Structure 1
Amino acid sequence: MSSPDLYFVKQQFTLGAYPALVSLPLPDSSSSDYAPTLVYKIRAHIALGDVASALALVPTDTENVALQAAAALARGEEGLEALRDLCVEIEGDEDSEEWEKEMVKVLAGTAFVRAGEIEEALETLGSEGKAGDEPAALLSQIYLSLARPALAQKVLAPALKANPDALVLQLAESAISLVTGSQGTSGEPYAPALSFYNEQVANPSISSAALLVGRAVVRILRGELSPAQSDLEEAEAILSRAQCEKGTGDMLAAMVVAASLNDSKKGEADELWSTLPIPWLLDIGAKELLFDECASKFQVPPRAVAVA
């Protein structure tokens, strides 16, 4: 059972409140919350693109495998071999706690996904029905990225049954709702995702641009453009106050889509498009070319004719 303070730290990280998390003070080094809190703060710095600050937080010669894994994740591709070694080391390791072993797998899986080593990530995280909360959530995200929502749900279902209140699992479930357009019990499209984001945005202890962008995406999919625009403007204000450039890409992309769907804001959409990060533009351009190439090879089959 997590302490209230550690629960709050996990909540901040899961819901994308990274600027708030990195500013939180660390507990005393003798506290059982110290190492887990430090791992989440390091991960928050990595998420913000501040690798130097992430590495500076890692204690010299630490024996904690989770902290070693966090440092390896911060080093990018240079840390992949260290993560592979740690995954082997934790097998049969009686000195490390279970949360440390699980964190090593999550951080290694994250690094492998970033490096394009999808199969290695899947092997590291474990199989459906056996993964913990965060590994199950990451597994489901990987399957969604592979356009396998059924597998994503299969991984998530047993974890949610065991721990239905886990935020990281609820967030993963909302992602599946976004991909599949599931209606839940209300019959409204994307209802599970919207319900999750509404609940979290209303939490006064959380100030997260990522949550607002997530809800804006749901609202765009539902055709609720004005509320979506309001969410995106609020997200922009949060990022501006935090002087945080990381995360603006998702926000700008959502803004482009929202403006493009609004006939009165077509010009604004073009302006926003030009502000997207260069790697995004290159990636979109490459996908456009690939689509055109595939479309040129596709032959429309002849229309079926009924035979008496």
Structure 2
Amino acid sequence: MDSDSLFYLKNQFYLGNFKYLSDNPLPAQSEPSYLSTLCYTVRSRIALKDYSGALSLLPPSNTSEPVRALRALVNYLQAAPGQKDSALEELRDLCLEVEEDGADSETEEGAGAGLVKVVAATAFVNENELEEALTTLGAGCKSRDIECVALIVHIYLSIARTDLAKKEYDAAKKWADDSLLIQMIEATIGLTVGSSTLQTARYIYDEQASAPGSSTNPSILTAKGISQILLGKFSDADNSLNEALAIDATYGEALEAKAVVAELRGRKLDAETAFSRLTSADHPLARDLEEKSSAFDAAAAKFAVSSAA
């Protein structure tokens, strides 16, 4: 595989085209691009929750830190509650190893120290250990790994610290201005902050939605639809989301955005239909709705309607 092909795979990963990458054949192990391609493919299968498929690609004989980190992440995700500690400790140990080897050295693009840190921090975020995740990624230390920066920004946005997210983005833009991922970071901040930055986000998603490979990528089409919702372009948003759902009728993010735009357009039945199609109990919105419904029922049960005049 040549460098242009690997560059394309990397960008498809950044755009969330995980199904394409999951099915992409690996090069021979003797090829220089093997480890990077393997890591993008395994991470795509993890994103699709195909954990057994991810493990099947990881050679038992490969003891490189990125492969060990990915294996530990899969083991963590598959472990029952209360049985995840060993995988978490292994990820912590691997982070120490890459620090000792040289924190920001990359033996191969997409398969070096930065990947180990991102993989470990992903598990820490899942444990709600945000402080540990940020420390692992080098928040506030001007990290030179763009994936570390992207996850730092994501964490800050999730806790409503847009000021810190912008600070990380501004620092990274000085050395990664030509990176696709820096554009995606800018667009994500734009969606969160709103106002004039929404137009920038929409332009970025418009451009990427028309790029090669995006016609089969529900992720970027959904992002485009969300930017259109926030700009009040409900009809355009509906079209973008329908395109995404035509590719994958069960794509959760598109279904929830579809429900939102239907509600905003006064189409209550369409909104209820979209919500009802969020059948996966693992989807964050489905869990959130179930938790809030249970909380409401519990609160309502404490009160009785009085029949007194």
TM range (shorter): 0.7 to 0.9
1:239 Cα deviation from its structure 2 partner: 1.3
Alignment of 1:258-277 (within 5 A): 258-263=261-266, 265-276=267-278, 277=280
Q: Counterparts of 1:25-174 in structure 2 under 5 Å?
A: 25-76=25-76, 78=84, 79-93=87-101, 97=107, 99-128=111-140, 129-174=142-187
- C-alpha offsets along residues 191-241 of structure 1, whole Å, 9 cap, x if unaligned? 11101101101112333100011011111111111111111111011115x
Confirm whether residue 283 of structure 1 aligns to residue 285 of structure 2: no
Number of residue pairs aligned between Structure 1 and Structure 2? 278
TM-score using structure 1 length:
0.84
Specify every segment of 5 or more residues in structure 2 that has no aligned partner in the other structure, as ranges: 78-83, 300-309
- Rounded to whole Å, the distance in 2 between the matches of 1:203 and 1:159 is 24
Residue type of the partner of 1:226?
S
Indicate which of 254, 257, 269 corresponds to 1:254: 257
- Give 1:10 shift: 0.7
| Distance in 1 between residues matched to 2:73 and 2:200, nearest whole Å | 32
- Normalising by structure 2, we get a TM-score of 0.84
How many angstroms does 1:24 deviate by?
1.4
Q: Does 1:212 align with 2:212?
A: no
Counterpart residue number, 2:191: 178
- Match status 1:5 vs 2:5: yes
Which amino acid is the alignment partner of residue 83 of structure 1?
L
Give runs of ≥4 in structure 1 deviating > 4 Å. 287-290
- 1:112-137 per-residue CA deviation (whole Å, 9 max, x = no partner) reads 11121111101100033234111001
Alpha-carbon RMSD across the aligned residues, in angstroms, is 2.1
Distance 1:13 1:233 in 2: 22
CA, structure 1 residues 96+134, in 2 after alignment: closer, same or farther (shift >3 Å)?
A: closer
- Give the distance between the partners of 1:76 and 1:287, measured in 2 at CA: 28
Report how far residue 96 of structure 1 moved: 7.3
In structure 2, the residue matched to 1:233 is 242
Q: Could you tell me which residue of structure 2 aligns to residue 195 of structure 1? A: 203
Q: Distance in 2 between matches of 1:282 and 1:102?
A: 31
How far off its partner does 1:271 sit?
2.1
Give the Cα separation in 2 of the matches to 1:214 and 1:193.
9
- Structure 1: gaps spanning 5 or more residues: 185-189, 294-308
Q: Which moved more, 1:38-47 or 1:270-279?
A: 270-279
Q: Is the 8 A contact 1:64 1:96 kept in 2?
A: no
